[in-house]
Amino acid sequence: MHVRRLELIDFRSYERVGIDLEPGGNVFVGPNGMGKTNLIEALGYVATLSSHRVATDAPLVRAGATAAVVRCAIEHEGRELLVELEIVPGKANRARLGRSPARRARDVLGALRLVLFAPEDLELVRGDPAERRRYLDELLVTRIPRFAGVRADYDRVVKQRNALLRTAYLARKTGGGRGDLSTLDVWDVHLARYGAELLTGRLELVAALAPHLAKSYDAVAAGRHAATIAYRPSVELPEAPDRAAVEQTLAAALTEARPAEVERGVTLVGPHRDDLHLALGPLPARGYASHGESWSYALALRLAAYELLRADGIEPVLALDDVFAELDSGRRERLAGLVGGAAQLLVTCAVADDVPAALRGTRFEVAEGAVVRVE
């Protein structure tokens, strides 16, 4: 798979730009703050419907404009697919797939399989559990697009259930009785069902990812310790955690947690409370790993995702934002050895010489809202 063309209108710093990309290496060179990452971010948005840098859409729209458009032409197995997204902050995105409007924006998920590494990924190791859950769920959807629906259904149930618990909590606080919790049982059934589907998907994903992570970390860091990954559920899982057994476990945990949930006014059970345990040798990475180790770990998580997708027969586009400046020459060459075979590799850097010669391919200069192909 590769992106043939990217067009942006009023996205971040770009008023209007169109870039023809090539398979293999595409390197975006330019001084700091010129808009290199903005290009990668736009592709990341097409792949995941979210930005790797900001939680809301407003910063993605060029200052002074009301909406942004990201359009890209993706070539996959000899066919071209056009994807267009219109981003209007505060409203649902409008999407087009090919010539037709998509029913929902999330129908575009799966059209562009992208693995993106950016400096912000340090948060995967150092940040809150939410960062790691997002990593897992994005990869789950990239690997199996059907999970976009599962995730959306699960999020909707948690939201509705929280609203119900919150209303009852506030009623109690203000002396209005216990509040109406009569529909909570129905939401429990939905939460256990979608939650079990999401959770078993994540478990299977982590099991498949683990060997790739160990290999990738070893390759980029050549460290003293091995990188390991384990899923940390917030409930104790059965020995054989198939979907039916996990659904039963979640249902039982919800029954047990009911008094505490009513007391606190929030959903306390389910995969939205889970985490990933990342370790280097005997120690957790979070709180123990050095800056360099954490950075290599974060990169290894993305490379593992890339390798896993390839092992599945999906050739994702790989984007590496500002990676090479952090690496010494030995590590640069090792990384080049790992990613040199990518169907399409997008690299941003301030200094072109930081990128190993084998990866340079097509070069673009990025300056003042323009992107010019120079080689």
Ligand X SMILES: Nc1ncnc2c1ncn2[C@@H]1O[C@H](COP(=O)(O)OP(=O)(O)OP(=O)(O)O)[C@@H](O)[C@H]1O
Question: Which spans of this chain sit near ligand X (rule: CB under 6 A)?
Answer: 12-13, 30, 32-38, 59, 61-63, 322, 348, 350
Task: Tell me how far CA of residue 228 lies from CA of 62, 75, 127, 180, 277, in angstroms.
Answer: 41, 35, 17, 45, 8
Minimum distance of ligand X from residue 42's CB (angstroms): 10
Based on CB atoms, which residue is closest to ligand X, 217 or 364? 364
219 vs 205: CA distance, rounded Å:
21
Answer whether 70's CB lies under 8 Å from 46's CB. Answer: yes
Q: CB count, 10 Å around CB of 55?
A: 7
Q: Is 30 a known ligand-binding residue?
A: yes
Task: Tell me how far CA of residue 165 lies from CA of 157, 249, 263, 329, in angstroms.
Answer: 12, 21, 9, 55
Which amino acid is it at 174?
T
Q: Is 31 a known ligand-binding residue?
A: yes
Minimum distance of ligand X from residue 63's CB (angstroms): 4
245 vs 247: CA distance, rounded Å:
5
Based on CB atoms, which residue is closest to ligand X, 239 or 368? 368
Based on CB atoms, which residue is closest to ligand X, 119 or 241? 119
Based on CB atoms, which residue is closest to ligand X, 66 or 100? 66
Residues belonging to the chain: 375
219 vs 212: CA distance, rounded Å:
10
Q: Is 34 a known ligand-binding residue?
A: yes
Q: Is 35 a known ligand-binding residue?
A: yes
Region label for 64, one of left (φ > 0), alpha (ψ between -120 and 50) or beta (otherwise): left
Answer whether 62's CB lies under 8 Å from 12's CB. Answer: yes
Based on CB atoms, which residue is closest to ligand X, 37 or 216? 37
Minimum distance of ligand X from residue 18's CB (angstroms): 17
Residue with tokens 């192909």: 373
At 19, which helix (H) or strand (E)?
strand 14-20
Q: Is 228 a known ligand-binding residue?
A: no
Among candidate residues 187, 184, 335, the one with its CA nearest the CA of residue 262: 184
The span from the first CA to the last CA of the chain, in angstroms, equals 22
- Please state the φ and ψ torsions of residue 76, each to the nearest 5 degrees: -145, 120
Based on CB atoms, which residue is closest to ligand X, 33 or 282? 33
Half-sphere exposure of 163 (CA within 13 A, CB side): 8
Minimum distance of ligand X from residue 366's CB (angstroms): 6
Q: Is 282 a known ligand-binding residue?
A: no
Minimum distance of ligand X from residue 298's CB (angstroms): 16
Report the SS3 class of residue 281: coil
Based on CB atoms, which residue is closest to ligand X, 219 or 299? 299
Minimum distance of ligand X from residue 106's CB (angstroms): 24
Minimum distance of ligand X from residue 135's CB (angstroms): 21
Q: Is 33 a known ligand-binding residue?
A: yes
Based on CB atoms, which residue is closest to ligand X, 72 or 165? 72
Q: Is 37 a known ligand-binding residue?
A: yes
Minimum distance of ligand X from residue 261's CB (angstroms): 40
Answer whether 46's CB lies under 8 Å from 105's CB. Answer: no
Residues flagged as binding site: 30-37
Residues flagged as binding site for ATP: 30-37
